[in-house]
Amino acid sequence: MSKNRALNIPDRSESYWLDSVEFPTFPSLEENCETDVVIIGGGISGIMTAYLLAIEGYRVTLVEARRLLSGTTGFTTAKLTSQHGLIYDYLLQNEGSKTANSYYEANEAAISYVKNLITEKGIDCDFSEEKAYVFAEDEKQQEKVKEEAEAYRKIGIDGGFIDNIPLDVHNLGAVVMNHQAQFNPVKFLKPLVEEIVAKGGRVFENTRVDDIESNKRPVAVTREGRRVEGDYLVVCSHYPFYDKEGFYYARLSPNRSYSIAAETDKEYPGGMYVNAGQPAHSLRSIQLEGKELVLAGGYGHYVGHKQNTEESYNQLYQFVNQTFGVKKVPYRWSAQDPATLDQIPYIGRYSTEMENVFVATGYRK
């Protein structure tokens, strides 16, 4: 018997999000084509970019190397939050108040947009408003958490320091951010993909782009030699594959983290949680067949820096079991996401030499 089986953890990785929805499939690209905007990457960045352009009347062509949502989006913890660890004190200290404020405002605008879109279109995607917490486990972390709370005050973030959290774990207080949210990203994106197609957008799966020709009209060149030409091209492929410009391989560090969804003995108290120290572990809840499950993530590492990745799942299991008592673990999965040098995503022109080519990457989970 494997150790995972003894702990009641599935031996095979499977995403709860992907298992919860029957998502449409699309053909691979078999011929050259022309469009207004070429979008490379079928995760939430690529799909939202295609959707926003399609509803404005642009002809969009979205190409994905595997299946849609087969990257980070389908294997996320799916929190809609502007609270990304202890980011705001870091931004104030290193980038200044203008950048810190812009970062917060951009994330809050995104949450509001998603919430309004869900309401407007009546999308059933398990959306719920939640408080988000970063909690301290020792005095050194408590000091950092209080510094983050002070950053909240300076920026005008709705939240601040609290002495204790509703979660039954050892803690020395937390910084809380109010009016954050969680959702099912696959349920959310399915109707948007359908609308992209309804508005004339084209979607191709199992179509890997290997090269970009940056001409007056950029061209995406697939592994099979097919060409997709457009007025603009957007790279949303998680890790930018084109190395001739931008040198993203030298400016991004990919990290892998792990998740389990567990049916537990104790009731989940609500909210979304992450600890301030290492190893990191985050918590939220999901619904499965009328039951509330604990979704725990964390125990990550730089990609390629850990051989026994099963250990991370076992550590997550032990953490959840100690906190809530585990009955069984129906799902487990892992994902990786790159971090930038300054902790701020790279969103904009791919390089100064490529006027009509854009990129979105470096979300740091």
Give how far Cα 286 sits from Cα of 40, 68, 111, 261, 317, Å: 30, 22, 19, 8, 16
Beta bridge partner(s), residue 240: none
Contact 71, 45 (CB under 8 A): no
Distance CA 114, CA 129 (A): 12
Q: What's the DSSP call for residue 14?
A: B
Lowest mean pLDDT among 46-60, 136-150, 181-195, 309-323: 309-323
Given this model, what pLDDT does residue 1 score? 36
CA distance 359 to 339: 14
Phi, psi of 353, deg, nearest 5:
-90, -10
Any idea which residue has 């470096």 for tokens? 362
The whole-number pLDDT of residue 221 equals 97
Q: Are 192 and 83 in contact (CB under 8 A)?
A: no
HEC sequence for 316-360: HHHHHHHHHCEEEEEEEEEEEEEEECCCCCEEEEEECCEEEEEEE
- pLDDT single digits (tens) 249-262: 889 998 899 999 99
> Alpha-carbon distance 205 to 42, whole Å?
8
Averaged over 107-116, what is the pLDDT?
98
Amino acid identity, position 254: P
**In CATH, which of 3.10.110.10, 3.40.1110.10, 3.50.50.60, 1.20.58.110 is domain 25-76+187-251+343-361?**
3.50.50.60
Task: Dump the DSSP string for 160-196.
Answer: EEES--SSSS--S-EEEEEEEEE--HHHHHHHHHHHH
Mean pLDDT of the chain: 94
Q: What is the pLDDT of residue 6?
A: 44
pLDDT at 5: 47
Q: What is the percentage of the chain residues whose pLDDT exceeds 70?
A: 96
Q: How sure is the predictor about 8, in pLDDT bands with cuts at 50, 70 and 90?
A: low
Q: What are phi and psi of 118, to 5 degrees?
A: -60, -45
Tens digits of residue pLDDT in 308-358 = 778 889 999 999 999 999 999 999 999 988 999 999 999 999 999 899 999
pLDDT for res 4:
52
What would the mean pLDDT of 12-39 be, rounded to a whole number?
95
Tokens of 222: 């697939």
Domain ranges of the chain: 25-76+187-251+343-361, 79-183
**How deeply is 315 buried, as exposed, middle or buried, from its count of CB atoms within 10 A (0-12, 13-18, 19+)?**
middle
